Every structure is written in structure tokens, then in C-alpha cells.
Structure 1
Amino acid sequence: MARVAIVTGGSRGIGRESAERLASDGFAVVVVYGGNKDEAQAAVDAITGRGGQAIAAQADVADEQAVAAVFDTAEKTFGGVDVVVHAAGIMYLAPVAELDLDRLDRLHRTNIRGTFVVDQQAARRVRDGGAIINFSTSVLGLALPGYAAYAATKGAVEAVTLVLARELRGRDITVNAVAPGPTATALFLDGKDEATIAGMAAQPPLERLGTPSDIAEVVSFLAGPARWVNGQVLRANGGIV
């Protein structure tokens, strides 16, 4: 029987690449999407077209009933849940002095409450021997102007990750966070001019932006062979910090 992974934010970017990578590793995958059913179905089709197993499921990650229903679906369809990759998130950029507080509330709801809700279900329902993988950001260490609200939400993600790893003692479940650096996704590229992008690409010693597949490689590692990596934040950023 295949191991089963739930991937939130699985219809695009790092989430989609992670879903496809886990499917190629032999996981049956539940691709969780927020609003774009067509993109989620395209991710499913890409996986099944290569002989993998996948279904799409819609959920607002901050809605505990919707998230519980996703886990129900995974259990009914594939028999259980072994890995949860929580890649869903939103980002608004503005200096502290200028940020619209409604946007702060939306960041909090999706990035903090959403992580807590997904992790709560994962803590209750991931099978022994599984893995929970959250997403932080390397911006937390870089402290870039304009990123205060977003980085603050990811600081909360790291706190939840490290505590949950210890709360799951005795179940052989690892809990880690991946903290990408600048990665060429729509979320990152949106609103940035070429000079800004070129400047960020020049920062790592490897002198390029990360790619979604670079991050999916780390997810694959944490979801599978990395059984002795637990309660950690893995900064996948080409060596910026």
C-alpha cells in the first residue's frame, strides 16, 4: 500500500512541485487548493499521467472543518495519512509604518491560524512513522525591510513546528520546517522589477534564484529518508544565511 501525503498549496509553485515530487517517490497525494480548481486538476493530471495516484481537495486552510474534511477524504480514498506538507501561504509586503492592518489580519489568518489548523489535524491523524513539514522563510534571518508582517507569521510557524516536534514524542513522527530563500515562483516574482530580481539572484554564493524543484528536493528528503532530522528549520536558500 502506498504511503499517503497531503500537500496544501499544492496547485502551484513550491506546493505543486512538492506534490509531483512526492508522487514520483511513490506517495498517493491529496492536492489541496484554496481557489483555483483548474490548476489543482492540472497538478492531479500531471501526477496521474505519469502513473501516480492523486486527487484534488478544496479547503481554506484556516477553516478547521474544511481541513478535517480533507483528512477524511485522504483516509477514505487512500486509507490514511503519512505525510503532511503545509505549503499554503500568502504574502503582503509593506513597511511597518504603512501596512494595511486588514492585510495583517489576513496574513495572520492564513499563515498562522492556517498552519495551526493543519498541524492540529496532522498531530491527531498522521500515522506513526510519518512526517509533518511546514513552511517558513529565510527572510526571517535576512530581516529585509518590507517583510515584517510576513516574516512575523513565519516566526510563528517556526515556533509551532519546534513545539509540535516535542509534543509528538513516542509516535516516531518528525516535524520540521523548510525555509526557502528567494525562489522563482509566482508568489515571489509578483510585483518585483528585473533589477530587484537580479539583485536577489546574486545574493547566494551559488548566484541564482532557487527553483521550486530545489525546495521539493528538501521536502522529499524530510518526507522520506530523513528520520533523524526532527524539530528543525532547514534553510534552503543557496547559502544566503
Structure 2
Amino acid sequence: MADTTLRDKVAVIGGGEKNLGALISRTFAEDGARIVVHYHTSEKEAEETVRAIQDGGGKAVSVQGDLTRVTDVRRLFETAVDTYGGVDVAVNTTGMVLRKPILETTEDEYDRMFGINAKAGYFFLQEAGRRLNDHGRIISLGTSLLAAFTDGYSTYAGGKAPLEHFTRAAAKEFADRFISVNVVAPGPMDTPFFYPQETPERARFHASQAMGDQLTRIEDIVPLIRFLATEGWWITGQTLFANGGYTTR
């Protein structure tokens, strides 16, 4: 039977410095994992997350990188192997959101959105597949807009959609090494990632589409990610919608 604990495991967390990623980093560290906190531009937040883990008796390092660059993705995992001797869990929380009508979206915006949401996701998964120890876990963050939909998010939902296909293929290709690969697809999350795209009225509307009239909370997503990294080892090739029933009317 697979090991269902995080103690003494090594976890690479893409975007692990703030918001959902930071809570995953701290939670995994509390469970005994050694953490590699990836960040792109938020160096201060990365330092704070690493310090919080170390102050709690855990082990963590931070690595800067642009995950749309394959060389940076490889360097991220190389750092984990060089520092801790291997990798057991890889969670990619990175992404970029843009709310803009199709008729107003520029080619540069399209390329940037698909670079961050699709390309980075693909090569993070690829390098994780190369570097993870047997019985490893790979988890990507998708979006509930893969199931529900609204206007304005064509490049965000479209850029995240390939994660489902990448994940299903990887789940088959890595199965002989007992590596599970999944997507967690939250609803609109109550973080700074969400609010710049929306008016207060639209934010309230999105909240009204889920149970309890609330946006998704990161505290409700982390237990699912932790489950997939431990007891949920048998689940693979799936997209799990954790969104309080989020839909549109």
C-alpha cells in the first residue's frame, strides 16, 4: 500500500509564496514535509512563508522562476533534488486571470494567458514526471469555469482547459510508477487574485452562485489537495470541482 503521510516527503509548490499556495506550503510543512516554495515576483511573500515554516520547526527554501520558461521549471525541480535529495509531491497553483471580451483581447494578451495557464502547467507537469520519486503525486490548479461558464473569461478558462487533457495523459503515462496526477478546480476564490477583475456587484453575483452565498475559501481547498497528496493516492486522471456548487444562471 502507498505511503499516506507527508512526513519526510519533499513537496514543490508552484506559486507557493502567497494566497492558496502559501497555505498549502505551511500545511504540508506542519505535516512534516520539506517544502520548496516557488515564486515569480513576490520575493517578500516567499521569504515570509519560508520564515514561517522554519519558525515552526519545518524545512523550506524558496526558488525564483518564470514557469513559462522551461529552463526555470527545470531549475526549480533541480533545486529540490539538490537540496533534499528528491521530490515526492508537486503542486502547481500558478495562473493568471484576465476578464476581457473576446472582441477586445489582443494577441499579446492571448499569448501571455496561454503561456502562464497552459504552457507553464504542461512543463511543470512534465518535469514533475521526470523528477518525482515513485508513488509521487502531481496536482494542478484548474478552474470551475471548466464546468460552469460566464462572459469575459475566454482566455482564462481556455488557457486552463488543457490541464484536464495534460492530466489524463500523464495519469496513464506515469501510472507504472504509481504517480497520481489530478486537477483541483475551485470556484472563484476569495483572494486578491479574483477581485481586480470584477466589480463589487459581479463579485456578489459570483458568491450567490455557490452554497452559503460565499466565494471559495482557500481554507476549504487545502484539505482536498492534502487528501490527494496522501490518502487519495488511488484517485488519478481526474478533475475535482471544489466550488460549492458554483454555476451561472
* TM-score with structure 1 setting the length: 0.96
Matched, 1:117 2:123: yes
The 1:150/1:191 distance shift into structure 2, 3 A limit, reads closer
RMSD: 1.2
Alignment correspondent of 2:3: none
- Output the amino acid matched with 2:88: D
Q: Distance in 1 between matches of 2:244 and 2:55?
A: 32
Matched, 1:217 2:223: yes
SS in 2 for 1:186: coil
Q: Which runs of 5+ in 2 are unaligned?
A: 1-6
Does the CA contact (< 8 Å) of 1:206 and 1:239 recur in 2?
Answer: no
Instruction: Give the % identical residues.
Output: 36
Runs of 4+ that moved beyond 4 A: none
- 117, 121, 130: which one pairs with 2:136? 130
Alignment correspondent of 1:47: 53
Deviation at 1:38, TM superposition (A): 0.8
Alignment correspondent of 1:27: 33
Alignment correspondent of 1:140: 146
- 227, 232, 238: which one pairs with 2:233? 227
Q: 1:9-44: CA deviations, max 9, x gaps?
A: 111111111111111221111000011211111111
Does the CA contact (< 8 Å) of 1:18 and 1:215 recur in 2?
Answer: no
SS in 2 for 1:56: strand
Deviation at 1:116, TM superposition (A): 1.2
Alignment correspondent of 1:6: 12
- Output the amino acid matched with 1:130: G
Q: Distance in 2 between matches of 1:240 and 1:118?
A: 28
Alignment correspondent of 1:69: 75
Alignment correspondent of 2:4: none
Does the CA contact (< 8 Å) of 2:98 and 2:197 recur in 1?
Answer: no
* TM-score with structure 2 setting the length: 0.93
Q: How many residues align?
A: 241
Q: Distance in 2 between matches of 1:106 and 1:135?
A: 18
SS in 2 for 1:67: helix
Q: Distance in 2 between matches of 1:197 and 1:47?
A: 33
Q: Distance in 2 between matches of 1:146 and 1:194?
A: 16
1:83-98 residue pairs with structure 2 within 5 A? 83-98=89-104
Does the CA contact (< 8 Å) of 1:18 and 1:213 recur in 2?
Answer: no
Q: 1:162-192: CA deviations, max 9, x gaps?
A: 1110111210110000001011111111242
Does the CA contact (< 8 Å) of 2:17 and 2:42 recur in 1?
Answer: yes
Q: Distance in 1 between matches of 2:202 and 2:175?
A: 44
- 190, 193, 214: which one pairs with 2:199? 193
Q: Distance in 1 between matches of 2:156 and 2:199?
A: 20
SS in 1 for 2:185: strand
- Output the amino acid matched with 1:55: V
